[in-house]
Structure 1
Amino acid sequence: MSNNTMKRESEFELVENPDALADRLVGGSEDFVARHKNLLIGIFVAIAAAVVGGFLYYQNQQTKNEEALAAMFQAEYYLEADSLSKALNGDGQNEGFKAVAEEYGSTKAGKLANFYAGVVSLKQGKYQEALNYLEEFKSDDLLLQARAYSLQGDANLELGKKEEAASLYKKAAEHKANDFFSPQYLMKAAVAYEAANQYTEAIEVYDRVITDYPLSPEVNDAKKYKARAEGLAKK
C-alpha cells in the first residue's frame, strides 16, 4: 500500500471516527505540553504575578488616596478661609497642597492637590508656578478638568502669552461642552484674541457664542463685542 493511500485512509478514519480524532487531539496536546512544559509554567507564573501585582497596586493606590484626602483636609479649610500660604505650604503640623501633591501625585487626591495648589499660586500672583501645578492636574471630572484648562489660560494671560491663553480657553469650552460654562470660556478666549490684536479670530469666537449658545446670558455681550472687534479689524 502506498504512503499516499495510507495517509488518505488515516484522514478518512479521523473524519468518520470521532474517537480516533479525540485520541489524536489528546495525544497531540500531551506531546505539546511535554515539549513546552517549562515555557507554559513560565507563562502561568507571569500571568499569576501580573494579576496579584495589579491587585496589590490597586489596593496600595486606594490606601494612598485615602491618606492624601485626610492630609488635604486642613489645607482645604485654609483655602476656604483665604489663608493662602498655609493652604499651600501647611501650618507646621498639617501638610499643605504642595506637600500632598508631591507625596501623593499618582493618586486622584494627589492630582486634586495639584489643582488646588495651582489655584492658590494663581491667587498669590505666582503665575508660572500656578501653570506648573495645573498642567499636572488630570481628571475625568468634566467640570474640574475644563476649569483647570481655563485657569491655565488665566496664568498664560498674566504671563503675556495671549494666544496660548485663548487656545486654552477654547480647550476649556470644548471639553465636554455644556450650555453653562462653555459660552463663558469662549468669551474669555475672544477677549484674549482681542488683547493679542487678532480680531478675526475674536470675531469667529464671538460668532460661536451667538450661534451655538443663543440662550446664554453671554449672547448680548458677544454681539456687542463682535461689533467692536469688527470695527477694530477694519483699522
Structure 2
Amino acid sequence: MATYKKRGYKPKKEKVTKEVEENFDETQSTTAEVFNTLDDTANKSEQWIEKNSKPLFYGLVAIAALILMYLAYNKFIAEPTQQQASNELAYPRTFFDKARTSAGAVADSLYNLGLEGGDGKYGFIDIADQFSGTKAGNLANYYAGISYLKMKKYEEAIEYLSNFSSDDELLGPTALGAIGDAFADINQLEDALDYYEQAANKKENQFTTPLFLFKAAQIAMVLEKYGKAEKLYTSIKEKYPNSDQGRDIEKYINSAKYAQ
C-alpha cells in the first residue's frame, strides 16, 4: 500500500526542541561567564579598597590639605604681597614720569631716583628683586630697563627688559623694541634686527608694528640685507599705509630695491 506525506508535515518536535535547547544553553553559558567575570572584578575591587582603605583615606586628606594651603596662601600671602608691591611701585613712578618731561642731567637724576628709591622707599631695582613673581615686580623690570636705556646704560637696560614679560598690546612690543634700541646703540646690529622683528610680530597693531618694521628695515639696510629691507618696507606699505611710517614708504622701498 502506497505511503505519502500529509500536507503541512513538520519535522518531529523533539529535534527542534533539542536544537533550541542547545543554542539557548550556549548563549546562557556565555552570559553567565560575563556576569561571573564582573562579579570577580567587583569582588577584587572591594578587596583592594578594603586592603588600601587607610592609604586612600590619608591620600584624600593630603589632597584636601594641599587645596586649603593653596587657598590660604593666595588669601593671606600672595594677595597682600601683590597689593604691597603695587603700593611700593607708585613712589618711583613719580620720578620716572617727571624724568620723561625733563632733559640732560636733571632727567638722569630723576631716573636714578626712580631706580634707587629714597626716604625709606623702594626704587624699581628693589621692587623687581623683593617682589619678583608679582605683577608689580614684573613692571618694575620694565621701568628699570627703560630708565637705564634713557641713561645710556645699555647692558643694564637689556638685563632688566629681558626679565620683563607681557602680553599687553603696547607694553610687550615696546619692551622688545627697547632691547632692539639698546643693541643698536652698542652696534650689535644683528641682535637689534632680531629684537625689532620680534617687537613687530609680538602684537599686531597700528602703532608699534609699523614702527618696529621700519626700524628693522633700517638696520637691514645698514647690514646690506637689501632684499629683507625691501620686504619689511613693503609690508608697511601693504598693511599700514596710513601710519607715520607708511606715508613716505615708497621712497624707502625704492632705495632698498635699487641698492641690490
- Tell me if TM exceeds 0.5: yes
Q: For structure 2, which runs of at least 5 residues remain unmatched after alignment?
A: 1-24, 100-109
Residue matched to 1:90: 117
Query: SS of the residue aligned with 2:205?
Result: coil
Q: Which moved more, 1:113-122 or 1:61-70?
A: 61-70
- Given the alignment of the two structures, is residue 45 of structure 1 paired with residue 65 of structure 2, yes or no? no
The TM-score, its normalising length taken from structure 2, stands at 0.77
Q: Which moved more, 1:36-45 or 1:74-83?
A: 36-45
Instruction: Output one character per residue of 1:40-88: Cα deviation in whole Å (capped at 9) or x when no partner.
Output: 1343133223322332343322221111111111100011111111100
- Given the alignment of the two structures, is residue 99 of structure 1 paired with residue 126 of structure 2, yes or no? yes
Q: Which moved more, 1:209-218 or 1:165-174?
A: 209-218
Say which of 13, 26, 47 aligns to 1:31: 47
The TM-score, its normalising length taken from structure 1, stands at 0.84
Check the 8 A contact 2:180/2:196 in 1, yes or no: yes
Residue matched to 1:131: 158
Q: For structure 1, which runs of at least 5 residues remain unmatched after alignment?
A: 16-20
Q: Which moved more, 1:25-34 or 1:106-115?
A: 25-34
Q: Which moved more, 1:40-49 or 1:69-78?
A: 40-49
In 1, Cα distance between the equivalents of 2:256 and 2:128? 42
In 2, Cα distance between the equivalents of 1:154 and 1:75? 23
In 2, Cα distance between the equivalents of 1:44 and 1:31? 19
- Given the alignment of the two structures, is residue 62 of structure 1 paired with residue 79 of structure 2, yes or no? yes
Residue matched to 2:223: 196
Instruction: Output one character per residue of 1:94-126: Cα deviation in whole Å (capped at 9) or x when no partner.
Output: 111000001011111100000000010001111
Displacement of 1:130 after TM fit? 0.5
Say which of 32, 53, 61 aligns to 1:12: 32
In 1, Cα distance between the equivalents of 2:248 and 2:59? 65
Q: Which moved more, 1:103-112 or 1:28-37?
A: 28-37
- In structure 2, give the amino acid aligned to 1:206: Y
Residue matched to 2:105: none
Instruction: Output one character per residue of 1:110-168: Cα deviation in whole Å (capped at 9) or x when no partner.
Output: 00000000010001111010010001011232321111111111111112111211121
- In structure 1, give the amino acid aligned to 2:129: E
In 1, Cα distance between the equivalents of 2:122 and 2:162? 21
Residue matched to 1:74: 91
Residue matched to 1:187: 214
Say which of 142, 148, 152 aligns to 2:179: 152
Displacement of 1:25 after TM fit? 7.5
Call closer, same or farther: CA 1:10–1:224 in 2, change over 3 Å: closer
Call closer, same or farther: CA 1:57–1:135 in 2, change over 3 Å: farther
Call closer, same or farther: CA 1:81–1:216 in 2, change over 3 Å: closer
Check the 8 A contact 2:145/2:160 in 1, yes or no: yes
Displacement of 1:202 after TM fit? 1.1
Task: Say what the alpha-carbon RMSD is for the aligned residues.
Answer: 2.6
- In structure 1, give the amino acid aligned to 2:130: E
Q: Which moved more, 1:193-202 or 1:182-191?
A: 193-202
Check the 8 A contact 1:187/1:222 in 2, yes or no: no
Say which one has the larger Rg.
2
In 1, Cα distance between the equivalents of 2:84 and 2:133? 12
Displacement of 1:196 after TM fit? 2.3
